[in-house]
């Protein structure tokens, strides 16, 4: 895994805990997971929100202006 051993991973984990604190680690992990999931969804073309406008069908009784 990128040439990192157990010792390097432990040092990185200790630095992260010192920078962010133990209480914020779950929040950071959750945010990172959501970001990765969103990135994967965007690559696969899966849209979460469909923003295309829908065509409205006009009622002929009301749209027949000027017709006898």
Interatomic CA distance for residues 9 and 24, integer angstroms: 19
pLDDT at residue 9, rounded to an integer: 87
Q: What is the DSSP string of 40-64?
A: HHHHHT--SS--PPPPPPPPHHHH-
Percent of the chain with pLDDT over 90: 19
Task: Give the model's confidence band at 59: pLDDT under 50 very low, under 70 low, under 90 confident, else very high.
Answer: low
pLDDT at residue 66, rounded to an integer: 55
For the question of whether the overall pTM of this predicted structure is more than 0.85, the answer is: no
pLDDT at residue 46, rounded to an integer: 64
pLDDT at residue 53, rounded to an integer: 80
pLDDT at residue 49, rounded to an integer: 67
């Amino acid at each position: 895994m990128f040439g990192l051993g157990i010792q390097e991973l432990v040092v990185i984990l200790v630095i992260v805990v010192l920078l962010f604190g133990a209480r914020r680690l779950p929040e950071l992990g959750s945010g990172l997971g959501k970001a990765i999931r969103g990135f994967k969804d965007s690559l696969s073309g899966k849209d979460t929100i469909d923003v295309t406008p829908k065509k409205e069908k006009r009622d002929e009784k009301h749209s027949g202006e000027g017709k006898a």
